[in-house]
Structure 1
Amino acid sequence: MQKTAQAKIWNATLYLRLSREDGDKEESNSIAGQRNLLRDFLKQHPDIREYAVQVDDGWSGSTFERPSFKKMMEDVKAGKTNCIVVKDLSRFGRNYLDAGEYIEKIFPFMGVRFIAVNDNYDSYREKSASDDLIVPFKNLINEAYCRDISVKIRSQLEIKRKNGQFLGAFAAYGYFKAPQDKNSLVIDEYAAEVVREIFAWKVQGISPQDIANRLNAGGILSPLEYKRSLGMKCSTPLQTNLKASWSAASVIRLLKNPIYIGTLTQGRATTPSYKVHKRVKKAESEWSVIENNHAPIVSRKDFDTVQKVLALDTRRSPDEESVSLFSGMVFCGDCGASMIRKPVSTGGRKYHYYICSANKQDKTCSPHRIRLEVLEQIIFDCLKERINAVAELENILEIADTAPLRTAGAVKVQRQLDEKRAEYEKLQKLLLSLYENLADGIIDRAEYTRLKESFSQRAAEAEKQMDALRERIEVMKTSTADTSWTDNFKCYRNLTELDRTAVVSMIDRIMVYEDNTVEIVYRWQDEFAWQMDIVRQAQIREAV
């Protein structure tokens, strides 16, 4: 920049910045401290007058995408300010390349005087030989500091996540941040009751849109509006209307959130580095998931049932508020296609039948069907039998000595683990020998790549299966037979008629065959079969 002897009055913008990682650990770094220092500096320089003060409080110096910095640059472009004064280079920015770009190129080109008071840098005065070395060096040090702070903060946040500390700005609907510990969640009883009602409606077969309509009609504030009513300043890019209301999407998000069973899931997204602030999604395997972290609002049984219901095809008729009794649960036992409910009018009366969708679409399956009333009776009778069998099973397990059988079962699983370990070791040896075969010309590069990928996949799968077998052995050795699943059946001991809640709570799917044979796949079917086997073996052992 060319200097002249003529006195010039500079319109200065005082730029102040304090990031969250800086905190307010030093008074000189506080916003008030920076402002006072810069105004004292201006008093000693009558050729510089204050035009504006721009403050980025809580913004990192690793990026120049800061709101007040952008406003300052707009003033520069408009010719309203031609001098920028900061406390030191670190307050201006901690990105070495970008800071250097502004100081060395952009500001000189735009005729802007740049002053860093504590670093004794003023672009208007004649440069000393040391400026070309010291300024870039200090910018480099500032960036290194920013990188170091970023690593420390990421590490601290990861530790807090692993310890089950809640790090969100706002608690999920149904919870408050604990008054004495902002990293802990406590139940908000009013909102929690709404959450329980939403889950109950969904199990009954009410669609998410109809649930949203009920909430809006009842004057229940949406999660966003509820937070605002409590004085919280929050917003969301998902909001499209002036006042946020319940929608099918918001209901589904709530129903899928495991926070309501006490599971805290955090760390779903991150920033690639301290320089890149655009958030990217992380793989689910990298999420921080802490179970039993806080008080649940709904039971795991109800939560799992709702997830099952959400996965079903639950389309409803236009004239019905809820889905049909077996919606999304009836399948053809011969071809596996879903069976659809179809009304048939005969003699002035309407009947409903389930027919194979494959036959209706392209005739790839036989035209078999079953009347809805017949299917309901079959399901009702079978459920009553299953409920009684489950209750009897639990009573027997309470008095039977099943410990020796669990130990014998663990030995059997141990043999399976040994076989799987031998398979894994064999695959590892094959992987090691592949390179030698390639080097000796026994196999070519393409064959080497194909075999390596195949062996690696099989080895990874074997390792995964070994982990599952080890876990199963520990469970069999140290725990009693888990009968908690039986509560899902026993609560319907006095069942007098079928309803949607009972059906989805106890049944996984219903298979209807061409000869009208009906097969019911119950939930927890494997647990029932395994524990029934334990009972039979215990009875045989006692008889001997």
Structure 2
Amino acid sequence: MIPAAIYARFSTELQSERSIADQIALCEDFAAREGLEVVARYDDAARSGGSMLGRDGLTALMADARGGRFAVVIVEALDRLSRDMEDLAGLHKRLTFAGVEIRAVHEGRVDTMLVGLRGLIGQLYREDNAHKIRRGMAGRVGDGLFAGGLTYGYRPVPGEKGRRVIVEEEAAIVRRVFAAFAAGRSPRDIAARLNAEGVKPPRGSRWNASTINGSASRGNGILRNPVYAGRIVWNRVRMIRDPDTGRRLSRVNPRAAWREAEAPELAIVEPALFDRVQEMKAGRAARRPERQRRPKHILSGLLRCAGCGGGLSVYGADRSGRRRLRCTRQAESATCPAPATFYLDSVERAVLDRLGAELRHPEAIAEFVREYHAERRRLAAGAGARRASLERAEAQAAREVARLVEAIAQGQGDPALLGPRATEAETRRKALAAEVAALAEAAPVVTLHPAVLERYAAQLARLDRALGRALEAGEAEAAEALRELVESVTVAPDPARPGGLYIAVTGRLNALLGAGAFPGGVRGSMVAEDGFEPPTRGL
């Protein structure tokens, strides 16, 4: 008897597990009538037919087919294998290559024509079903019901699909967030206070500024969600599946596609307060570049805590007026394993003094030139390989176009199926040809242009001029110069000397020079009272 395998699948968790057993029983009866011996059974429960990714049963079936375990695959219908035209055609091609025939209980032996027709019908069915689901969801929104998932501040009503009621404990937090922002508190400050008080966030383990802020284009986040003002907005985003990874990704829909409905019973904050918050956020977003926030200090945004990797920020001054730094993660959530506080002026002085000395060293300049040439050679080799790869892909696409056109001319296939494939292949060929044309020939490695070294020297000169006035009126210029050369500054108590500072500078040059350029970081020689303040109780 001919060895055969059975494959069964159902789409969603809402369907019964009996579906798999029923499909297998139907296929076994078919095998008995056809004189086939069932040697293997494969299934995928609650897996969509729109993608082959994530379907372990199908993957195992294809592996065994290549190994010659069976000669026939039995399915209830072709849409059990796939509801995607491309995937179904690919499965048929690979099984045919492995010498395996497909037989469907309701359709019999499967050939290329049947694969094309059933693939088209299956994909149209899937897309039509999606349109019907979206139409039903739009109708639900029109009735003042939710068409999406859960939103912070609300819970579902059992037995009433789409109905929500306010959870007063969470609603109080929402009102508090709106009131704090309207009073001038930043989302980061609000999140820090909620974390410090142990308030449970909507998801995850802690509140973040993004939880409060949300996205203007997507209309989410606590401050931007209109449901808190009594308006349900649906269809702001759509989900699409990446054909290469199978992951579902969200894309923002145009504003005209959104659907809105009034739901005053769901309002948690007054509409006037909601509108005022939106005006405040719009005003901040529209701030002119010259009025936008500038770095307050030379190292603003560059300082990192060695204990946890979080940022260091200025939080106050001691009795002498010296400003201090502390770990923001420790301040917001008390999760830093090695919290410490430092004096800002001492950290700035150590970084500026040592950085200027290190970068002026002639060996650093020589290493810069050597590594520049090595990187140029590497990039040139990569560009040549990329061009060769594109040319091979272009030639393959051209051969595919020629084969499909010849098949249509010889009447060897359905033009309705082969024509679109030929058009797609030609479009791909043209895109590859355009990419090849745009890709310049690998540039020869030339001597480093003097302008590169001049720019490097100019940045050092800017830094040098700013050093003298960095801690007074010239901080803005020093900060801008530093950002051309420094990516981050990690600060920690020096483990080798009690009371000393250890400052590790990660420069933007390191990406070109490599980690060996400054292997030990930049060490400052300071005593405890000059740079490192012992941790304050409660921080």
Question: TM-score scaled by structure 2?
Answer: 0.45
The structure having more radius of gyration, on CA atoms, is: 1
Question: TM-score scaled by structure 1?
Answer: 0.44
